[in-house]
Structure 1
Amino acid sequence: MQAVILAAGEGKRVRPLTWSRPKAMIPVANRPIIAYTIDALIKNGIRDIIVVVGYRKEQVTRFLNQLDLPIEVVVQEKQLGTAHALLQAKSRVKGDFLLLPGDNYIDAQSVAKIKDVKNAMLIKEHPSPSNFGVVTIREGRVESIVEKPEHAPSFQVSTGIYSLNKDFFRYIRGNDITDAISAMIESGTGISAVTAEDWQDAIYPWDLLKLNQRLLKHLPAAREGTSSRHATIHGPVQIGKGTTIGPNTVISGPVIIGNDCTIGPNCCVLPNTSIGSRVSIEPLSLIGDAIVMDDTTFASHSRIVDSVIGERCRLADHTSTGTASGILEIEETPIRSQFGAILGDNVTSGPFARLRNCIIGNNVILEGNRDVISRIIPDGSLVI
């Protein structure tokens, strides 16, 4: 069996994190999201994989070339929709195939449940169904699918994962997979509904924190760096090569730390934290429930919780993020949110900056002693 992974989109609702990378390449638990999709396929013996790339295609291609797999890459030159992306792979598809999004997490057990079912959709109950294609089911078959309805008829949603045959291409008339699935149903071709075991999409950037927590649950401990004998490390913790953990630093797993980091002395890393490579955390700082990307520096007395921090950020001493509730406008839609902060790449903060329930764009400079609460700061801004 073949698999087609769609990894051509940007992921606009996850901005500013997709300014410099496609959504499929956002690191969660220090691996790109697409890596988990590929893992699920390999565990099911599926190695004939086609990946459709588009936005920032070089990054996806570079990552795929590092894998010990003969993955075929095709390009969607313009991001015109999911069905249009699938059409780019039409000439490579031989027969039965799985269709999967490259920017969702799916587990191997779910793939096992659907891979041998002809014409099937993987579904899952979701508390916010209006963000997805909402499905109605009758006697194990999909009766209808409505994309992002204002009033959802059910809590069952499509995961975007399908088991299909090459005949499916004849139902594609527009640019979206949902329309093609609806045309398939209207033609009288039945689509089985298969319930996923474990699936998650990150619709908004703060959703990445829940995904990170989920993926760290099964983290095996591994320590390749150097830890002071006066440091305290307990629970599942991975420490990369060249990383130094200073004295009196406490790390409580699950935590993953990349290569060549400097943490401490006198720091605290709390559970559900992913720290990339070449990250520096200076003394008397605390990091918890967070995703920290590569080459970022936290000066002393920082407190970063419930937050996603992009690459090459420079946060001055006493910078703090803390969980708060608010309403943010994402893609012209008011969205209720609750988290600390989302920082794009190359953000610089002055001392005593305080961030709550806010999204800070790329290349933003925050002067010291500033409060940013329930706001979105555009790329390139200077906050004084």
Structure 2
Amino acid sequence: MMQAVILAAGEGSRLRPLTRSKPKALIPVANRPIIDYVIDALLENGIREIVVVVGYRKEEVIQHLNSLDAPLQVVIQERQLGTGDALRAAEPEIRGDLLVLPGDNYINAASIARIKGVRNAMLVAEHPNPSNFGVVVIRSGIVREVVEKPEDAPTFTVSTGVYSFTPEIFSYLQTNEIPDAVSAMIADGRQVRAIPADEWQDAVYPWDLLKLNTRMLRGIQPGIAGTIDASVVRRGVVQIGKGTTVGPNTVIYGPVNIGSNCNIGPNTVIMPDTSIGDRVVIEPFTYVADSLIMSDVTVGSHSRIVSAVLGQGCILADHITTTPSASLIEVGGRVQKEEFGAVLGEGVRAAPFTTFKNCIVGNNVSILKGRTLAGRIEDGTRVM
């Protein structure tokens, strides 16, 4: 019986400010934590022995896992030293061949089906920004080399972090990182196969969540559990949770997923590729498109929210605008050009007539006077 180990112990520091109070595996995408998609893909493949390694904010992760109807066993990584160390924490539970998967990347069931029967293999994918990942050099379907986050990537093929191993992997875990163990296996003459993923997506930086949200919304089922005024116009796939009310003359173009106990409208427009969490209030005459809005957010009237990630508990006054534009952003010592409207951490408060333009706002920032903001604003800042 094949076992699976999901590594969900890390913070996801490059996703800050969103991971300051929530591990990356629990970030909601299309209103479900990322780790849920990984567990679903394993269950669809008949893999029922699943070990989850938790660490950063482990109480929250354990609480969420306990709420799922899935056969999960939890192991704790005491200090977040790396993927190899996390896998080592699971060793006492492993009895045979195993799959290893990150708990904070999307992977589909077809990809797992491709790799689960192959001993000692790595799931690989093409990526336009390979330098953010382990870059894989392959010859004749066999992995020759894994280069971690190189400045100049030799190929566009990257490791997805999904592996199929025999128990001998544990004897190669000499450092705290799994790619080092794979390199040691290769150096020892062991063959590690490269298996192309069917579908895989990672959110490395906060704005990547918008692409992931768009992808995951393609899989939602239509369903209306809330109360919708007769004049509401719906097109495409729309899912609305229990206790949510949608006011008169609101227009919703799917795919859109709205959680439970929300209050939307009247006279609002919700455009495609938008997910809205639970207990969200969107006031009249507001337009939302291509955005990920987490739970307990309020967006004031006459606002225009486009290409934005709004963290939990943000309170935005009326006439708020997020404007997608491209600018150079430095992340982890690298400068890259990215186009999005805004990423707001938890508990951001913004005064009327605030405009965010390609802006990353830290947690608990207060904007006390309407103005145009761009670039980065650190946690806890008061903008006068």
TM-score tier after normalising by the smaller chain length: over 0.9
Mapped partners of 2:251, 2:147: distance in 1: 49
Deviation at 1:218, TM superposition (A): 2.3
Q: Which residue identity does 1:14 align to in structure 2?
A: L
1:306 and 2:316 matched: no
Mapped partners of 1:367, 1:329: distance in 2: 26
Deviation at 1:23, TM superposition (A): 0.4
SS at match of 1:205: coil
Deviation at 1:144, TM superposition (A): 0.5
Deviation at 1:332, TM superposition (A): 3.0
Deviations 1:1-42 (A, max 9, x none): 100000000011100000110000000000000000000000
Aligned to 2:262: 261
Aligned to 1:381: 381
Deviation at 1:70, TM superposition (A): 2.4
Aligned to 1:154: 155
Deviations 1:60-109 (A, max 9, x none): 11111011222110111111011001100011011100000000000000
Mapped partners of 1:93, 1:208: distance in 2: 33
SS at match of 1:83: helix
SS at match of 1:40: helix
Aligned to 1:31: 32
Mapped partners of 1:341, 1:223: distance in 2: 29
Mapped partners of 2:11, 2:290: distance in 1: 25
Deviation at 1:334, TM superposition (A): 2.0
Identity over the aligned pairs, expressed in percent? 56
Aligned to 2:108: 107
Aligned to 1:355: 356
Deviations 1:349-384 (A, max 9, x none): 0000000111000000012321112x1101000011
Q: How does 1:101-180 map to 2 (within 5 A)?
A: 101-180=102-181
Aligned to 1:210: 211
Stretches of structure 1 that go unaligned for 5 or more consecutive residues are none
Q: Which residue identity does 1:359 align to in structure 2?
A: I
- Say if 1:7 and 1:54, in contact at 8 Å, map to a contact too: yes
- Say if 1:361 and 1:380, in contact at 8 Å, map to a contact too: yes
Mapped partners of 1:297, 1:41: distance in 2: 36
Q: Which residue identity does 2:135 align to in structure 1?
A: V
- Say if 1:315 and 1:350, in contact at 8 Å, map to a contact too: yes
Mapped partners of 2:274, 2:370: distance in 1: 26
Mapped partners of 2:314, 2:156: distance in 1: 39
- Say if 1:6 and 1:53, in contact at 8 Å, map to a contact too: yes
Mapped partners of 1:236, 1:76: distance in 2: 40
Aligned to 1:337: 338
Aligned to 1:93: 94
- Say if 1:134 and 1:149, in contact at 8 Å, map to a contact too: yes
Mapped partners of 2:252, 2:312: distance in 1: 22
Mapped partners of 1:149, 1:332: distance in 2: 13
- Say if 1:353 and 1:367, in contact at 8 Å, map to a contact too: no
Mapped partners of 2:27, 2:215: distance in 1: 15
Deviation at 1:331, TM superposition (A): 2.4
Mapped partners of 2:333, 2:377: distance in 1: 15
Mapped partners of 1:331, 1:114: distance in 2: 32
Q: Which residue identity does 1:298 align to in structure 2?
A: V
- Say if 1:314 and 1:346, in contact at 8 Å, map to a contact too: yes
Aligned to 1:19: 20
Mapped partners of 2:368, 2:333: distance in 1: 28
Mapped partners of 1:350, 1:69: distance in 2: 44
Mapped partners of 2:143, 2:316: distance in 1: 50
Mapped partners of 1:369, 1:51: distance in 2: 45
Q: How does 1:42-121 map to 2 (within 5 A)?
A: 42-121=43-122
Mapped partners of 1:104, 1:69: distance in 2: 19
Deviations 1:217-271 (A, max 9, x none): 1221000000000111111000000000000000000000000000000000000
Mapped partners of 1:70, 1:178: distance in 2: 28
- Say if 2:369 and 2:383, in contact at 8 Å, map to a contact too: no
Alignment RMSD: 0.7
How many pairs does the alignment contain?
383
- Say if 2:31 and 2:257, in contact at 8 Å, map to a contact too: yes
SS at match of 2:290: strand
Mapped partners of 2:64, 2:336: distance in 1: 33
Q: Given the two structures, how large is their TM-score scaled by the length of structure 1?
A: 0.99
Deviation at 1:171, TM superposition (A): 0.5
Stretches of structure 2 that go unaligned for 5 or more consecutive residues are none
Q: How does 1:261-300 map to 2 (within 5 A)?
A: 261-300=262-301
